[in-house]
Amino acid sequence: MQRKFITNLLFLLLLNLLIKPFWILGIDRSVQNLVGSESYGFYFAIFNFSYLFSILLDVGITNFNNRNIAQNQQLFTTHFPSIIILKMMLIAVYGFVILIVGFTIGYNSSQFYMLCWIGINQILLSFILYLRSNISGLLLLKTDSILSVLDRFLMVVICSVLIWGHLFNAPFKIEWFVYAQTVAYLITAGIALLIVLNKSQIKRLNWNRALFIMILKQSFPYALLVFFMSLYNRLDSVMIERMLPGSTGDIQAGIYAQAFRLFDAGNNFALLFGVLLLPIFSKMIKLNESVKRMVKLSFTLIFTFAIIAALSSYFYDLELMKLMYYQQESESLSAYNIRMMESAQILGILMFSFIAVCSTYIFGTLLTANGNIIQLVKIAALGFAINVILNLTLIPVIEALGSAYASLGAQSVTAIFLVMLAKKHFRLKLNYLFLSKIISFAILVFLIGYFVKQIEWPWMNNLLLTIGLSLLLANILGLFNLRSIIGMIKASS
């Protein structure tokens, strides 16, 4: 299983490294630069609002299905035709709820128009994720890996034509970005559906009321878990936009989005661990195999990556922001510098919360595979409560920066409780030698970053040197053993 995990992780990382950096730094960043922070903040807040209710599209079915199919693959053919009908019913519920809540909180006509299109995109994305859960549950991990980047690849192509193809005389509009997502999701959903239908050989859909009730009962705890996690991961920008007066809300949401983009980029790569580990952990638990070595391997890899990413971003936060975003035509130099300083501060804080997020992808996934959903829901609810309280307290005082602190607090508490719960249920012993290596690594990477920054070189050279020395240090400490990873790849070929 370790060999399967490593080889598929490297394949998935390769695909994501080919596509997602260009998506994040080339397309998504360019869109914000073209439309401005206020316009992008308008989109970003509505996107996250629609995301808050996306659980209604799924009610935990995807996580439940991934784990269930991985452990009982014979259920795939019987469950799939009925779940498709259930998903269609949930689409109607989701559409009704977001429109009613949007009206209740005072969205205007332009916000409703944007909400409708983003809602359609959320529906398509939910459908894709469900189809992928069947493919992943069947342990067709390479196929699932390709599908995981297909939508982004298509968006890169479409947006590249819109941004640099000069097809229209009008300046780029944020609506075009949303339409491009719709087209990419439609194509990806169609391909994923064809793959699943080919594997299932299903001819027609089945209305099965008893199965609906059974699935909803079993998946409801998963729905609560995803709901609370979505709230404290995506509520920040919505609260910024709603709590701050006038255009300040959109502008601050845009500033937050600038820093959040790099955090989200790291989060997308960390998520790959969870995507691969859920079916693997589920299968190992079903076969009564020990998960301790897999937990240690995956945690070591992701924690090494998280520490380097967080501390590198901390030392070069302002440089990274200025590299990614340029001065708007209508913006004074002083206003631009203030915007970059605010985003840099937020980035530094978010990237430390990223370390906690990475831990949740290992231990949260392990506990999900084991079926400890009730305990996970309680921890997620605690994280949500902390996030809301801190946001309500800090946003009126320090605006978007307050949301960054709220995220750090919520993610850190959640990670601590998840580690404690996993340690209890799987009797994971505290390895003091391993712990000392982890702590030493974090301290030494900080020192590397500090002293390298004193060298009077271009900052990009310093950043690359910091990352290179940190990876070398990880190899020396035995946290990142390149030789053993290469051996696993050769053994699997």
Q: Judge whether 364 and 371 are in contact, CB under 8 Å.
A: no
In a domain, 475, yes or no: no
Residue 491 has pLDDT above 50, yes or no: no
Q: How far apart are CA 37 and CA 107, in angstroms?
A: 19
In a domain, 477, yes or no: no
In terms of residue numbers, what domain contains 169?
A: 2-429
Q: pLDDT tens digits for 164-210?
A: 887 777 888 889 999 999 999 999 999 998 888 887 766 666 677 77
Give ∠ CA 411-66-121 in degrees, rounded to 5.
70
Q: How many CB atoms lie within 10 A of CB 192?
A: 23
Q: Judge whether 454 and 448 are in contact, CB under 8 Å.
A: no
Per-residue pLDDT, averaged over 417-433, amounts to 85
CA dihedral for 174, 175, 181, 183, sign (positive or negative): negative
Lowest-confidence segment of 98-107, 327-336, 479-488 by average pLDDT = 479-488
In a domain, 274, yes or no: yes
Residue 139 has pLDDT above 80, yes or no: no
DSSP-assigned letter for residue 73? G
Residue 490 has pLDDT above 50, yes or no: no
Residue 255 has pLDDT above 80, yes or no: yes
- Supply the pLDDT for residue 342: 93
In a domain, 435, yes or no: no
Q: Answer with the residue of higher pLDDT: 2 or 53.
A: 53
Per-residue pLDDT, averaged over 85-113, amounts to 89
In a domain, 238, yes or no: yes
In a domain, 115, yes or no: yes
Q: How far apart are CA 485 and CA 474, in angstroms?
A: 14
- Supply the pLDDT for residue 204: 66
Q: pLDDT tens digits for 236-252?
A: 888 888 889 878 888 89
- Supply the pLDDT for residue 488: 43
Q: Which of 68, 425, 128 is nearest to 279 (CA)?
A: 68
Domains identified in the chain, total number: 1
In a domain, 172, yes or no: yes
Q: pLDDT tens digits for 215-234?
A: 777 777 777 777 777 676 67
